[in-house]
Structure formats: C-alpha cells, structure tokens
C-alpha cells in the first residue's frame, strides 16, 4: 500500500528545511546593565520572614489570617516611604473555592512612562507539617516572598526612577487566582515587565530559577530572561540558566504552567517567574535555607533597576534556545512542515493505491475518527460539571496544591466511566457509519492494510491542523506520524511484533512529555490526572486543545484495534509453489532439447 521510494525521496524536503533551520540561528541578547550598587536593605529579610511565619504561619487564601497578613504587609510597605499603598479586595476562584482575596499594591511613580511590577503571594502552597496556621518550614517558605517585597520597597524608597515600580502582595498561589485578577486589572496599562517571586528559601535548588513559561506557545522575551539570569548567576551559579531545549519544546507544545506569571500573557505583559525550585511548588516538611535571601534580594534590586534604566522590553514571542542561540518561530514552522512533507507525499500515492484495490479511504477515515467519540463524551461530562458548577477550579494549573474533593473525585470518576462505557457503544456506531459509506468493490487486499492508510491520513491531517496553530505540538506528533506510515506496509501489518513496536514507538514521545511533568512537578500519575481535570474545568486547557487531545486519543485507540486485529489475523496463505525451476534442476521449456529457441523469433 505504501511506496517506500516516494517516502525516501521526500526526505530531500527535510534536508532543505534543516539547512534553512541552521541558518536561522541568532544570538541571544545580553542582559541589561545597571549602575546600582546594592546596599544593606536585604540583610534583615530572613528575620522578617521568620517573624511573619511565627505570627501567621501558613495562611490559606481568603481566610482571616490571610487578611491580617495582608494588613501587616501593607503597614510595612507604607513605613518604607515613597510608596502609595492601596488595599483591594477581589473575588477569585482559588483552589479552596471562590474567595474574597485581599490584594495590596504599593506604587512608586517614575519620571517617565512604563511600569515594572513585582508580585509576591502570601499564601502557602501546601499545609505546613502541623497544618494551616502553624509555623514551620513551609510557613517560612510562604512568607519569604512577602518579606522580600518589603525589603525591596525600602531599597527603592530613596531612588530616582525612570519607570514606576508597582509592588503587589496577593494570594491564591495555587492556580494563580490572585495573579489572574491582577493581570485583568493591569490589562491595557503601560507595563514593561512583571516579576513573580516564587520559592526563595529552598535549601536545595532543583532547576533553572528562571521560569519563562506563559501558558501558551510563547515564552518571555529573551531580553527579560537574560537580564534576570545575569544578576541571579552570582547567587545560584549554573542554575541561573535558560531551561533545556526539551523542556522548552514540551512546555510550548503542551503548556501546563503552575507559576503565577502565566496570566499576564493574555493581557500582553512580559512576565517571568523566579523560584529556586523551578516549576515545582513547595511541599510540606521541606528544608529551608535563609542564608541566601539577602543575596537574592540584592540581585532582585539590580534586576529592577536594570529594567528601569534600560529600553522597553519587547512582548513575549515564540522561539527555542539551543546553546545560547535563538531559533525563531518561522524557522521552526518550516522545519516541522518539512518533517511532515515525506509522509504527506507518500500518502497521496497510497490513497490512489488503496482505491485501486477496492478500499474506501473515506470509510476508513470515518472509522478512525469514530475512536474519538468516547473521549469527547468524557470531555462533555467535565464541561457539564463546569457549567453547572458541580466542580470549580482556579484559572491556572494547580500543581500539587489543590485538595482532591469528594465532588471532584466523583466528577472525574463519572467522566472516566462515561468514556469507558461509551467505547463499546459508540465505536460500533462509527463502524456502521463507515460501512454505510461503502466500498466500490470487494477489497483485493486485507482490510487491515486499508485501515492503516486511513489512520495515517487522519493523523497527517491532525498534524497539519495542529501545525497551523502550534508547530511545537505538531513536532511531538511527527515521530508517530512517520511510524504510522509503516503500518501500511504489508510485511509490517502481517507481523504483530512489528506492528506493536510501531504503536509503542509512536507513544514514546507523548510518554516522555508526561514523564517530564511528573518529574518536573513532582506529581504522581493520579495527581497529574486530577490536575489535568482541574485545568480543563478551570480553563487552563482551552477547549480546542482538549478536543485535539481527544482526536489524538481516538487515533491511538484505532491503532490499538489494528494491532489486535493483526494479532488475531489468520496466518497468511502459503506462497504458491514455484512452477519454473532454476538452472540447477530445471531451466524451463527447451532445456532438454526438442524445442526451438524463442530467441531467434
């Protein structure tokens, strides 16, 4: 069914795309300089963080303790001098339900246009060792960003600024509830950059302290990232680097951002997260180290002053980083499209071949697409729970901070059960629909071969559609797309072991992406499933993305069905015996004489 020569010739297009990709590399911009020498304003950060932890412990968003802590932070910001402090109360969907969240904003106006925003969450990510309201390592980790915010206000109080500086203390770190409402309020304002303070007191630095993720197919501008890492490198060393190439691809292809910097993408504000634990949120009982807080504060002061004195920071953009080189979006699009091209060209010939052998391409495409119906039913259950408020979730990805409620577990279980039960009910309906389209004649080759070509066609169409929206996500589909093409080779389909290897190989890249999140965020598979459920209900995963995932799961289900059919298929018919022997025994008519040679005729 598949002509491998056309497939091999199509790799010439890939070679051209790789050459263009190589010439697209450009240098990463250096960080902005600053002439400010940090003073001694940050030597007391550790003591202030400990004092706040002893007084308030770990606070939950929207509680009385959270409001009291907000008032205490506001009083300290006012005492710093030079800042206009405003107390706001906003209603936000937190991990603990819809709460009235107190937001404290301290602004120091500059001489010119633009604003630099620094955000710190007051609430703890998880309960401390003894629960909410008790002091402990988790409480110190939760209060360190607030103490850093106050120290930064003291450091900037006597400075002459070109841009305004807005220091914000909010709540709802899990799911970025407070940051989302802040981003909505700042939308349309002239904001140059936003810095979100995460875990600043962890004893162990786990990953890159810079989080440029925006929750979409764009990253924070390279100029902002370079500026942050320039001043953090003397404090945290090699951890002040850009994320790895693989993590960038996964985050851009399947965004799942637990930091509070993500909401600012929707309003066009460049934002980054700064955390010693990378994307992973804090855990109960983790050790803290307050000795580097003063150095981190001095670095933060330099970052703010560099942004204040430097040029305007550009908007977030789509790119990848390889060895300190930037790859722009247009080059990534060309490369991914070039990788899809060999399969697309081969399928054009394969369609003609299956039609000549009596198979209906449209029938098999409908058969493959019917596999997504059960998953759409499960997605519909989650959407129904969202509309009817049976299950509520914060607007951002939650990581490990959202408790598993009884209602949430029930909704998740019903969605899974609906998908499982719908498969034996809806899948036959899809098969009947495909059969109703009919074939022109009885196929002359096994139906598995025609179904394999139909599966590749649907997967290629999905890859092209995803490529038009998000080329990074299409890049993750490329290995499965190329492997699926070989299911249309008769020798492969007739070998269950080869077919199983192809299906497993197609699952390898998506499995590695899930493994990345499990390791990077410190989640269990069940915890990740729960977080994905909340991300769908809360809107962190867009409906279009969720629908595309359903189509991909439907293609996987069809591939598994093909594999099972290959296993159950009867042994191929024996090869017909050779009727014309070779020269050792019998060379054909005339070899024994008596027959005139045909060569002279």
Q: What is the tens place of the pLDDT at every residue in 547-601?
A: 999 999 989 888 888 777 766 654 444 444 444 444 444 445 554 455 454 444 4
Helices (H) and strands (E) counted in the chain, each on its own, are 18, 10
Q: Is residue 250 classed exposed, middle or buried when 0-12, 13-18 and 19+ CB atoms within 10 A define those classes?
A: buried
pLDDT at 223: 94
pTM, two decimals, is 0.85
pLDDT, tens digit, 9 for 90 and up, residues 349-374: 888 887 777 777 788 888 888 888 88
pLDDT at 212: 93
Going by the DSSP 8-state scheme, the letter that residue 18 receives in this structure is H
Question: pLDDT: is 155 or 584 the higher one?
Answer: 155
> How many C-alpha atoms does 398 have within 13 Å on its Cβ side?
28
Q: Answer yes or no: are the C-beta atoms of 421 and 381 closer than 8 Å.
A: no
Q: Give the ranges where 57-136 is alpha helix by DSSP (H).
A: 64-80
Write the DSSP string, 341-389. Answer: HHHHHHHHHHHHHHHHTT--HHHHHHHHHGGGHHHHHHHHHHHHHHHTT
Average pLDDT over residues 120-125: 82
Domains, the chain, ranges and CATH?
Answer: 39-205+270-316 (3.40.630.10), 354-568 (no CATH)
pLDDT, tens digit, 9 for 90 and up, residues 207-264: 789 999 998 889 999 999 999 999 999 998 888 787 888 899 999 999 988 889 999 9
pLDDT at 365: 84
């Amino acid at each position: 069914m598949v002509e491998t020569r056309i497939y091999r010739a199509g790799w010439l297009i890939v070679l051209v795309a790789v050459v263009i990709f190589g010439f697209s590399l450009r240098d990463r911009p250096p960080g902005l300089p600053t002439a400010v020498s940090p003073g001694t304003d940050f030597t007391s950060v550790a003591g202030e963080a400990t004092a706040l932890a002893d007084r308030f412990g770990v606070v939950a968003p929207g509680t009385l303790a959270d409001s009291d802590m907000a008032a205490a932070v506001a009083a300290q910001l006012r005492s710093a001098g030079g800042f206009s402090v405003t107390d706001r109360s906003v209603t936000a969907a937190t991990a603990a339900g819809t709460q009235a969240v107190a937001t404290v904003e301290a602004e120091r106006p500059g001489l010119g246009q633009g604003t630099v925003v620094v955000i710190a969450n007051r609430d703890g990510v998880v309960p401390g060792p003894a629960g909410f309201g008790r002091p402990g390592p988790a409480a110190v980790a939760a209060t360190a960003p607030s103490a850093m915010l106050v120290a930064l206000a003291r450091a900037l109080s006597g400075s002459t600024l070109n841009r305004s500086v807005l220091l914000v203390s909010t709540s709802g770190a899990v799911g970025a509830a407070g940051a989302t409402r802040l981003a909505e309020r700042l939308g349309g304002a002239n904001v140059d950059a936003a810095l979100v303070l995460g875990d600043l007191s962890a004893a162990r630095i786990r990953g890159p302290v810079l989080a440029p993720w925006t929750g979409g197919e764009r990253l924070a501008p390279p100029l902002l990232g370079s500026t942050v890492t320039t001043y953090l490198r003397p404090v945290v060393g090699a951890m002040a680097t850009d994320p790895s190439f693989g993590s960038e691809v996964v985050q851009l292809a399947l965004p799942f951002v637990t930091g509070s910097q993500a909401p600012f993408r929707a309003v066009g504000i460049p934002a980054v997260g700064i955390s010693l634990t990378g994307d992973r949120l804090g855990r109960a009982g983790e050790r803290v180290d307050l000795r580097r807080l003063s150095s981190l504060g001095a670095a933060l002061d330099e970052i703010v002053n560099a942004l204040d004195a430097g040029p305007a920071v550009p908007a977030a953009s789509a790119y990848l980083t390889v060895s300190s080189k930037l790859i722009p979006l247009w080059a990534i699009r060309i490369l991914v499209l070039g990788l899809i091209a060999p399969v697309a060209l081969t399928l054009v010939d394969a369609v003609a071949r299956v039609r000549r052998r009596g198979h209906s391409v449209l029938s098999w495409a409908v058969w493959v697409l019917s596999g997504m119906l059960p998953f759409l039913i499960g997605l519909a259950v989650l959407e129904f729970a969202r509309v009817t408020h049976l299950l509520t979730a914060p607007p951002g990805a939650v990581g490990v901070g959202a408790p598993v409620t009884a209602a949430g577990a029930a909704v998740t279980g019903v969605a899974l059960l609906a998908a499982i039960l719908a498969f034996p009910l809806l899948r036959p309906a899809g098969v009947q629909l495909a059969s109703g389209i009919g074939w022109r004649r009885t196929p002359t080759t096994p139906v598995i071969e025609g179904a394999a070509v139909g599966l590749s066609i649907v997967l290629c169409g999905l890859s092209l559609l995803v490529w038009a929206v998000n080329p990074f996500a299409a890049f993750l589909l490329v290995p499965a797309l190329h492997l699926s093409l070989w299911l249309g080779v008769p020798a492969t389909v007739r070998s269950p072991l080869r077919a199983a290897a192809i299906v497993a190989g197609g699952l390898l890249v998506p499995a590695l992406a899930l493994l990345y999140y499990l390791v990077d965020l410190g989640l269990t598979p069940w915890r990740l499933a729960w977080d994905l459920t909340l991300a769908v209900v809360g809107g962190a995963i867009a409906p279009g993305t969720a629908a595309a995932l359903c189509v991909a799961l439907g293609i996987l289900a069809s591939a598994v069905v093909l594999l099972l059919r290959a296993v159950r298929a009867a042994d191929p018919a024996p090869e017909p015996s050779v009727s014309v022997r070779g020269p050792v025994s019998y060379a054909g008519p005339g070899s024994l004489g008596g027959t005139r040679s045909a060569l002279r005729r």
